[in-house]
Amino acid sequence: MKKKAKAVEVNMENLLRIFTVPEAPGSTLSRLENDISANLAGFLQEHIVAEETDLVEIERDFSDTLIPEQPVYVSEQTEFLLDKVVAQSVHTASPSFVGHMTSALPYFMIPLSKIMIALNQNLVKTETSKAFTPLERQVLGMLHRLVYDEPEAFYGQWLHDSYRHLGAFCSGGTVANITALWAARNRAFGPDGDFPGIMKAGMYAAMRHYGCEGAAVLVSERGHYSLAKAADVLGIGRDQIVAVETDDSNRIRPDALEATITRLRQRGIRPFALVGVAGTTETGNIDPLDALADIAAAEGLHFHVDGAWGGPTLFSERYRERLKGIERADSVTIDAHKQLYVPMGVGLVLFRDPAALKSIEHHAQYIIREGSKDLGSATLEGSRPGMAMLVHSALKIIGKRGYAMLIDNGIDLARRFADRIESLEDFELVTEPELNILTYRWCPAAAREALNEGDADSCRRINETLNRITRHLQKTQREHGKAFVSRTRLTPERYHRQAITVFRVVLANPLTTDEVLRDVIDEQRQIIAGMGEHEDVIELNRLLGSPVA
């Protein structure tokens, strides 16, 4: 292997080689590739360094901003990637990585992705995508049907219609949510008499034409931050994403919603969209979608469901009922790189009405021609890769029953883990899993007793100390690199809405077992056991009047 021995000579002939001559079978890169094909889990296990390195230290390897004058050998770059990038990446596929929404991938995704990359199609136009265009439309149709279950004839009529779209592929849930609210905004403030519509005239002219002081979107206080981002991007303003109060299960309160609508209208602000959350990011709870659909219908609001996480629960015979009302949504976001088990970089938004995307349609007179099948006309993004091929393959190879089983498995596992936590003396379940997400914290019996019995002030101090301990525990466990739970802050009613730091566990990796979760708890206990001299533990002992750890 070359070790910066001598530089590659730069001439056109050598340059053409990288476009025409494949990596030799024995090269470092080919070897890595084969290792991944043969044993992905082993490859990741072997190459990713478990113990955490400080980010500042890692940054040293990525601090040179000079693009090298002379090319670097592929083998040299591969060695670099292996040592510095792969080694210092996150083992998202690990069964004990249960802190975020990124999971293991089915094996077939890796070679299929390679085919997709090799074909390098661009979905913006059929001239650069051909079969990928109907393929993408088919996938949108399949997921549209999963959500809306329209009759066969509906799909026969609209699936491949040049002037209609059952949804839009996006790079992720954020763009999907923006697309939904963009379409809703443009529809709510569309052309009217002489007014050419907000698409052409902009937000200011629209507000004046429609006589409003502003436009608002309603969502529970547990809505994803992408919605605030959407409001900023769309010129609505973050303050007009109006956060509606939730109940103790993190679900929007319909009474509070009605009151908010009234209040906004009194101020001359027109609410035009209501977002129901189907799987809150932090706790996996689902808004009462049917009640929201009623309110949206009565108030004339676009009803969007953010099912980025929870959407695929529809596959489950046992749990799909929890999403009841989603079929009444005007639009639904689903992330394929979450519970459809597709690699990072694909979300989508479905629209019940195949004409809904008309309100955002853009044509470049001679590039994305009107009436063509070019998908670029109805997406926020322009050039896009053929990720639809991966979603298509996942839907076929895993199938409805397979997905149902994956969903059920995660929810059941979460239930069992919740039950176990509840049975433990030294841990407290903070939110019950409605889907496959739960939160908990270390909270010994004595602390719970004190919290139940103490006055507001002493409760506050105990919780603040516990919060610091939870943070320390979570960070330490992450640094050890065996397991990863994330952490967030909640404001449960039982603690008078005081902010509580909790561990958050997301159970979507089918390789995660009860035993893996038991080990997570055991490791947390070990860390606590070693914290006897820690100032926060000392403080807790002092507050409780007896040693708890």
Site residues for its own copies, 109-138, by CB under 8 A, read 109-115, 117-122, 125-135, 137-138
* Residue 48: closest CA among 99, 107, 96, 110: 96
Among 238, 494, 497, 518, binds its own copies (CB under 8 A): 238
Instruction: State which residue, 7 or 298, has the beta carbon closest to its own copies.
Output: 7
DSSP state of 52: P
Give the distance, in angstroms, between the CA of residue 263 and the centroid of all CA atoms in the same chain. Answer: 32
Residue 368 CB, nearest distance to its own copies (Å)?
7
202-221: contacts with its own copies (CB under 8 A): 202-205, 207, 212-215
User: Is 240 a residue that touches its own copies (CB under 8 A)?
Assistant: yes
Instruction: State which residue, 14 or 262, has the beta carbon closest to its own copies.
Output: 14
With beta carbons less than 8 A apart as the criterion, state whether 292 and 325 touch. yes
Residue 529 CB, nearest distance to its own copies (Å)?
25
Instruction: State which residue, 147 or 543, has the beta carbon closest to its own copies.
Output: 147
Q: Taking each helix axis as running N to C, give the angle between helix 132-148 and helix 388-423, from 0 to 180 degrees, rounded to the nearest 10.
A: 40
286-325: contacts with its own copies (CB under 8 A): none
Distance between CA 113 and CA 108 in Å, rounded? Answer: 9
Distance between CA 67 and CA 61 in Å, rounded? Answer: 14
414-473: contacts with its own copies (CB under 8 A): none
244-263: contacts with its own copies (CB under 8 A): none
- For residue 431, the SS3 value is strand
How many residues bind its own copies (CB under 8 A)? The answer is 180
Residue 43 CB, nearest distance to its own copies (Å)?
7
User: Is 72 a residue that touches its own copies (CB under 8 A)?
Assistant: yes
Task: Indicate the helix (H) or strand (E) that contains 113.
Answer: helix 109-119
Distance between CA 119 and CA 105 in Å, rounded? Answer: 21
171-190: contacts with its own copies (CB under 8 A): 171-175, 178, 182, 186
Distance between CA 271 and CA 322 in Å, rounded? Answer: 26
Give the distance, in angstroms, between the CA of residue 349 and the centroid of all CA atoms in the same chain. Answer: 13
Among 263, 267, 401, 518, binds its own copies (CB under 8 A): 401
Residue 433 CB, nearest distance to its own copies (Å)?
19
Question: Tokens 């055991």 belong to which residue?
Answer: 522
Q: Count Cβ atoms below 10 Å from residue 35 Cβ, excluding itself.
A: 15
Instruction: State which residue, 165 or 384, has the beta carbon closest to its own copies.
Output: 384
Q: Which string of x and - marks every residue 22-61 that binds its own copies (by CB under 8 A)?
A: xx-----xx-xx--xxxxxx-xx----------xx-xx-x
Instruction: State which residue, 28 or 524, has the beta carbon closest to its own copies.
Output: 28
Residue 520 CB, nearest distance to its own copies (Å)?
16
Q: Taking each helix axis as running N to C, give the angle between helix 28-38 and helix 109-119, from 0 to 180 degrees, rounded to the nearest 10.
A: 140
334-393: contacts with its own copies (CB under 8 A): 335, 337, 343-345, 347, 360, 362-368, 373, 380-386, 389, 393
Among 196, 254, 454, 492, binds its own copies (CB under 8 A): 196
481-540: contacts with its own copies (CB under 8 A): 484, 486-489, 510-511
Distance between CA 206 and CA 427 in Å, rounded? Answer: 54
Query: What are the beta bridge partners of residue 331?
Result: 304, 351
Instruction: State which residue, 37 or 526, has the beta carbon closest to its own copies.
Output: 37
With beta carbons less than 8 A apart as the criterion, state whether 512 and 99 touch. no
Stretch that binds its own copies, among 64-72, 326-334, 422-430, 434-442 (CB under 8 A): 64-72
User: Is 163 a residue that touches its own copies (CB under 8 A)?
Assistant: no
Instruction: State which residue, 84 or 448, has the beta carbon closest to its own copies.
Output: 84
Instruction: State which residue, 335 or 434, has the beta carbon closest to its own copies.
Output: 335
Instruction: State which residue, 109 or 219, has the beta carbon closest to its own copies.
Output: 109
Instruction: State which residue, 50 or 445, has the beta carbon closest to its own copies.
Output: 50
Tokens of 74: 């592929």
Residue 98 CB, nearest distance to its own copies (Å)?
12
Alpha helices (H) in 212-310, listed in sequence order: 225-233, 254-266, 289-299
Instruction: State which residue, 144 or 251, has the beta carbon closest to its own copies.
Output: 144
Distance between CA 342 and CA 111 in Å, rounded? Answer: 12
Query: What are the beta bridge partners of residue 442?
Result: 427
Distance between CA 190 and CA 71 in Å, rounded? Answer: 54
Distance between CA 382 and CA 486 in Å, rounded? Answer: 34
Residue 291 CB, nearest distance to its own copies (Å)?
26
Distance between CA 426 and CA 444 in Å, rounded? Answer: 4
